[in-house]
Structure 1
Amino acid sequence: MGSLGVDFVSPNEKMEMEFDSSAFPPFKLSQIRASIPKHCWIKNPWKSLSYVLRDIIIVFALVTMAIFFDNWKFWPIYWILQGTMFWAIFVLGHDCGHGSFSDSALLNSVVGHILHSFILVPYHGWRISHKTHHQNHGNVEADESWVPMPEKIYKELDFATKFFRFKIPFPLLAYPIYLITRSPGKKGSHFNPYSDLFQPNERKCVVTSTLCWTLMVALLFYLHTVIDSLQLLKLYGIPYMIFVMWLDFVTYLHHHGHEEKLPWYRGKEWTYLRGGLTTIDRDYGVFNNIHHDIGTHVIHHLFPQIPHYHLVEATKAAKPILGKYYREPKKSGPIPIHLVENLVKSMKQDHYVSDNGEIVYYQTDPKFFNFSGKKDE
């Protein structure tokens, strides 16, 4: 204590006193909504379909080029470009699932099934679980996507499970497994209409999506008889794996960040607004437009009904209201290399949360293996 009876406060402590990201925000969801221009809420089905047409044309153009050149100098370029386009197609199907594609439930469902089945995603199964994620974002007990494990569940995992969950690049290939088994500590499958994920009135939708997914698998088996397995792997299999890596990379980074510890909530501390404010915007450089501005994630989480082509404008309008609760994304060059560092550091540090407490933060397992793959002593 100083000579005048005042405690000394260090600069770092002062910054923490000035802003606590877990504190109740001084604004309401309705205020954010009111700050967004009215036209940002309008869904234009023709504009949405134009993006679908654009992506499909690019996908088939890339296939044509790959078949025409068919040499090992071009294949790696094709895989990266086509895998990225598969991811762009997923984002458009994602908009259908949110209803931000159009006001027509039928159009959303038809387009969503076509796009998602093409990349082996069960549309309704995923749509319903993703809705659960948005409705419970930031909630340790009820969130669905990359939700942190309580310490008790984490400590019950064997070394192999921890290794494949936290050792790069394996977490970037987790999505197909998640569709079948969900995350540790959770039960159910996105393909099973009787899974805990779904309500009885949703079962017919899940059956429809599983059938569409099965038809796509059957088509791939048929193509296997028409062209050799290696050619099918080159044209579809490897781009599919790159798409999965994009999906896991992006979804993880929007809910984790080594720059600062993000709060997670339980019980009465959780609210829809507080949970939504734990998401992070990211700048993906040249890929921002290619994958339909999915990096503008905060406003998307709070208002998933806004079409992707209005998210940037809506975010700019809402920033004065959000203030410090909005984490300005680090500007990227053409290629977002810095985000790989974010991912690696987060995977190294963010392992579990405490079993107790209504506001918790990721903790690091000091006994966990280091990134050379060796167990710590």
Structure 2
Amino acid sequence: MVVFGLAAAAIYFNNWAVWPLYWATQGTMFWALFVLGHDCGHGSFSDIPLLNNVVGHVLHSSILVPYHGWRISHRTHHQNHGNVENDESWVPLPEKIYKSLDNTTRVMRYTVPFPIFAYPLYLWRRSPGKKGSHFNPYSDLFAPNERKAVIISSACWVSMVALLLLSSVVVGPAIVLKTYGVPYLIFVMWLDFVTYLHHHGHEQKLPWYRSKEWSYLRGGLTTIDRDYGVFNNIHHDIGTHVIHHLFPQIPHYHLVEATKEAKHVLGKYYREPRKSGPFPFHLFNNLVRSIKQDHYVSDTGDIVYYQTDHQLYKFPSTKSE
């Protein structure tokens, strides 16, 4: 009701004092919807697979996410978390791939705010060094028996795009941009901000693994819990991320209590998150610091840590004649 009220007020008054309130609120709600769809993908939303798929498609298609395409790649992420070679989400670049990127790509990838708008590009092209698309049923991401599901999700995505285009014809592109486009960008920022910080930005550098040094438990323990203040309940306690990675079948409404119990078992291997005020401003410092320092990992070694390219932000000076 709050979102609808802000939308109505913003459209009626068309006042720049109201629009930002609506954008921030609606974008945050889009992110909350994404998290529920994420639970559908894990099968933790319902015990009924069909219900998970129906609700997941409705929620994710409405925010331009191909449900099955992303669900499958996210499954790969969970199965290989912390693995340099096989992880799927925010995986570190090996030095060879990093140095093969042109300087403009490197600078944009490691300069705020560009990384927190990366999600749509990731859906289309994945990450550097990986091939395929979340929309292409013949992508390396998917097994042959998953192609039909990917086609269905891509068709739902196209239907949502068509609905937005039709709305632009009916009410005008400016209204669609203000009511949907800007909140969508806020949602993308939330998604990239949260998912990046669940695997990066700890005060101490955390290991990434290869080969025999990697295990499901070791990889899961490299994830990081975060406190998002007033947003914890709004986005369904997604900040309790360690227990989610170890046991992704746990519904979001049990993550907090499960984490409390798991602390006694994990002991020193659990990193207590820094408590936030109402708003998690301190996490922006973690984000910026990590993006400036965590650039690539060594091409060799089964336990590796992020390294820093100290030349990244040094541009050749030009002397005027």
* TM-score, scaled to structure 1: 0.82
**1:160 Cα deviation after fit:** 1.1
Contact in 2 for aligned 1:136/1:272 (Cα 8 Å): yes
The amino acid of 1:156's aligned partner reads S
**1:141 Cα deviation after fit:** 0.3
Aligned partner (choices 149, 156, 164) of residue 108 of structure 2? 164
Contact in 2 for aligned 1:368/1:375 (Cα 8 Å): no
Instruction: Name the CA distance, whole Å, in 1 between partners of 2:54 and 2:5.
Output: 23
Aligned partner (choices 85, 109, 130) of residue 53 of structure 2? 109
**1:180 Cα deviation after fit:** 0.3
Instruction: Name the CA distance, whole Å, in 1 between partners of 2:6 and 2:81.
Output: 37
Tell me the percent identity.
Answer: 74
Deviations 1:42-101 (A, max 9, x none): xxxxxxxxxxxxxxx554444333323321110011111111111001000000000010
Q: Which runs of 5+ in 1 are unaligned?
A: 1-56
Instruction: Name the CA distance, whole Å, in 2 between partners of 1:307 and 1:58.
Output: 26
Equivalent position of 1:310 in the other structure:
254
Q: Which runs of 5+ in 2 are unaligned?
A: none
Which is higher, the Rg of structure 1 or of structure 2? 1
Aligned partner (choices 197, 214, 223) of residue 270 of structure 1? 214
Compared with structure 1, are the counterparts of its residues 297 and 366 closer, same or farther at alpha carbon in structure 2 (3 Å cutoff)? same
Instruction: Name the CA distance, whole Å, in 1 between partners of 2:38 and 2:197.
Output: 17
Aligned 1:274-313 pairs, distance under 5 A: 274-313=218-257
Equivalent position of 1:84 in the other structure:
28
The amino acid of 1:179's aligned partner reads L
Aligned 1:216-231 pairs, distance under 5 A: 216-231=160-175
| Count of paired positions | 318
**1:376 Cα deviation after fit:** 9.5
RMSD: 1.4
Compared with structure 1, are the counterparts of its residues 213 and 348 closer, same or farther at alpha carbon in structure 2 (3 Å cutoff)? same
Aligned 1:18-33 pairs, distance under 5 A: none
Aligned partner (choices 113, 120, 124) of residue 176 of structure 1? 120
* TM-score, scaled to structure 2: 0.97
Task: Give the ranges of 4+ consecutive aligned residues of structure 1 lying more than 3 Å apart after TM superposition.
Answer: 57-62, 374-377
Equivalent position of 1:123 in the other structure:
67
Aligned partner (choices 145, 151, 160) of residue 89 of structure 2? 145
The amino acid of 2:74's aligned partner reads H
Aligned 1:8-23 pairs, distance under 5 A: none
Deviations 1:163-197 (A, max 9, x none): 12111000010000000000000000000000000
Instruction: Name the CA distance, whole Å, in 1 between partners of 2:234 and 2:53.
Output: 23
**1:206 Cα deviation after fit:** 0.0
Deviations 1:138-183 (A, max 9, x none): 0000000000000000010101111121110000100000000000
